[in-house]
Amino acid sequence: MREVQVERHREGVPLRQRQLELHDHQRLRDQGGQRRRLREPLAQLAHRTAAVHRVDDAGRPVRHPVRAAHQRHLRRGNAPVMGRSEVQRSLVRRRDEHGFVAIFATICLSAFLFGCAAIGIDIARWYLEGAREQNAADAASLGAVVWLPDNIDKAKSTAADLAQDNGYVDGTNNTTVSAALGAKPTQLQVTVCRTVTNSFGVVLGFGSTKVCRTSTADYTGPQPMGSPCNTLGNEPAGTTAKGPTDSQLVKPSGATCSSTPQFWMHISGPMVPKAQGDQYDTRTCSSGNSGCSGTTNSDFRPEGYFLLVRVAATAVNTPIRLQLYDPEFAATNNRCESGPTGTFPTTDNWNKWTSSDGLTRYKVTSGSDTPNAFCTGDVAATTTPTVTSFALRSPTDTQDPTKATPVAGCTKQWPGYSANDVTINNLFSSTNPGAFDTPLSESFHQWVTLCDFTPSVAGDYYVQVRSNVAIGGSVNNAGQTDGSYQPPDAASSKVYTQTGDDTSVTGGGSNRYAVRAFYASGTTPAGAVSVAAFGRMPIYMNSNASTATFNLIRVLPAAAGKSMNFTFFDMGDAASSGTVTVLPPNDSNMGGTATNCTATGFINQTLSTCALSGVSSGNGADGKSETISVPIPSTYTCSYASAGGCWFQVKINFPSGTVTDTTTWTANISGQPVRLIQ
């Protein structure tokens, strides 16, 4: 390093820069056209500055004035003016800061994106949890809603069980499962919630998140037909030995019921022709009948028919007696004009079952006389009597009664009796009436007990009625005194286990009967138990009047916006023309008349008031089906809180005759029986 000497002196210093320790030719040179000049004359800087002397190679000082060593801002007026070196340094600093900003922005953005990704993991878990909960809620609501509207407690417990099957148990693992009625009595709303722990949200103060999903299902499945009360069909008086003697009918609020509704329940033997009115329990049919393939009945159902015994919550754990009137087939003809045969005694004391009214109970109808209340009118089509089987099944959530569990001790079969068996000798003991005991006398025109059962849950119990099962077991088994055959092991009885047809059973008679259910002891509360047909209802109408009105089907508010479809088969055998009118529930907001209905079948037309006229054999009704579709308004409502509310009725009028005919009715609500609405 060479020595540099500095002297201080006064002189005017041009605004020019000279570099230290450099030769002249190394001075910063003005770039052509780029020298920056001040636009106005600047005052000379009269201040003491330093002259810098450089020593040449011989050691002699070389004097060169340089700009001021210190930096001063020039002013233009009052504003500071930055010199060239300051501008360059500022630009350099800014260029240097650009790298810092980029790095800083990258760090911040990375941190932000990392945080978003971390929170995204938690959010993804919420969505996954929500999807699982939704599946569980959907399964619970769909599976449990079938217990509504009559058993909300069973619906809730079933929903909890189904949610548990899908991994959600109420009260464990931060989980809640709740079920409640929806906006309508046929809707079930299930909510599943679980609190999940967040992996990264805790950094932001969200240590956990509660995730909930809700599902609401609606049920418009098969509804009871024929009766809102605890009797189905006519209810004749019982005897002292085969009682009770008085009526057991109890009516829930709003119900229209009678002990003489002018019909009997019906089942045909498998060899009875279909054209005689039984659509589903006969094997054969004739050309021109609805639902036939040649001579084969395409509608034949080997499982028979089902009756619905609806048990309310108030009747749970209370013994219920289930009785049948005249459950056996005994050929007497439609009006009981052909039996019993023989010479009638002059006394009412016929046997130990009928000791006070034998002449009336067993009366043979003559001429144009009207059959009395005890006459069911069993009629034979062939000489082979029909075997009739009855079996009770427990409630099921499958909507399929054939899958319901048998009720122990509630299965019986009755043999059939031809006209040759229905005699005075088989009903009357002239020598010792009190000790007389024949199977026919124990059930003919008598109320007999199918069983006493104690329901453990509320809901629908099913009585299966069949005519294609061979009789088995022993008569009067286990002390029974009703002329029935009872298998020793009800669960293994063919009445339950035979899923198809037994073609060796060839009964050819039509059996008419009635059913009732009541408390085995004490008074039966209204609405505690009811008996109705399920899905399909074969009946024998025996009204002596020209007009009769029957309970058809219960339609709850869940059916709003759908259609009720009523199909009748082989109604109108008479030559005179009849009218069939569908009536809305008295307690509904539809008014007294249903409107805008349609008829399809042997008559096709629009029915402005849901009244179909021209129903007669001459107009094609014999052996044919007809359907009346009734639109249910979207605003439809009714008194669903009572078992007697929401019942459609059907009025049948034959002005030139009586309403006497065997027919099969079906009624249903259009659409899927179970559906998700939320």
DSSP letter assigned to residue 617? G
Residue at 393 is within a domain: yes
pTM for the whole structure: 0.78
Contact 570, 279 (CB under 8 A): yes
Residue 93, pLDDT > 60, answer: no
β-strand 4-10 against 474-475: which pairing, if any?
unpaired
pLDDT > 90? residue 492: no
Domain final residue, candidates 514, 542, 570: 542
Judgement on whether residues 326 and 442 belong to the same structural domain of the protein: yes
For residue 34, tell me if it sits in a domain: no
167 and 197 co-located in one domain:
yes
164 lies in a domain? yes
Confirm whether 611 is domain-assigned: yes
Q: Tell me the angle at which helices 152-165 and 84-144 cross, rounded to the nearest 10 degrees.
A: 130
514 or 8: which leads in pLDDT? 514
Looking up residue 562, the CATH number of its domain turns out to be: 2.60.120
C-alpha torsion sign, points 119, 124, 129, 130: positive
What pLDDT digit, counting tens, does each position of 326-335 carry?
A: 999 999 999 9
Contact (Cβ atoms closer than 8 angstroms) between residue 388 and residue 394: no
Last residue of a domain, one of 517, 542, 567: 542
pLDDT at res. 385:
96
Same domain, 663 and 551: yes
The pLDDT assigned to 453 comes to 97
**Rounded average pLDDT over 227-254:** 96
Same-domain status, 151 and 138: yes
- Considering the domain architecture, whether residues 233 and 353 belong to the same structural domain is answered as yes
Is 82 inside any structural domain? no
**Mean pLDDT within 158-167:** 95
pLDDT value of residue 1? 45
Residue 488 has φ and ψ, to the nearest 5°, of -65, -30
Domain that holds residue 323: 222-276+305-542
C-alpha–C-alpha distance, residues 293 and 277, integer Å = 17
Residue 413 lies in a domain: yes
Structure tokens at 454: 């104690």
Last residue of a domain, one of 219, 245, 265: 219
Rounded Cα distance between 265 and 577, Å, is 24
Tally of structural domains, the chain: 4
Same-domain status, 53 and 154: no
- For residues 658 and 598, membership in a common domain is answered with yes
252 in the same domain as 375 = yes
The conformation of residue 162, written as its DSSP 8-state character, comes to: H
Say if residue 413 is in the same domain as residue 455.
yes
- What pLDDT score was predicted for residue 27? 43
Average pLDDT of span 426-433: 74
For residue 15, the surrounding DSSP H or E stretch is none
> Of residues 567 and 677, which shows the higher confidence score?
567
Residues 6+ apart with CB under 8 A from 65: 11, 13, 14, 18, 51
Same domain, 594 and 673: yes
Q: Does residue 238 form part of some domain?
A: yes
Evaluate if residue 418 carries a pLDDT over 60. Answer: yes
- Residues 342, 460 share a domain: yes
Q: Does 46 have pLDDT greater than 90?
A: no
pLDDT tens for 9-44 read 444 444 444 444 444 444 444 444 444 443 444 444
Residue 317 lies in a domain: yes
| Same domain? 537 vs 601 | no
- Residue 112 CA, chain-centre distance (Å), reads 49
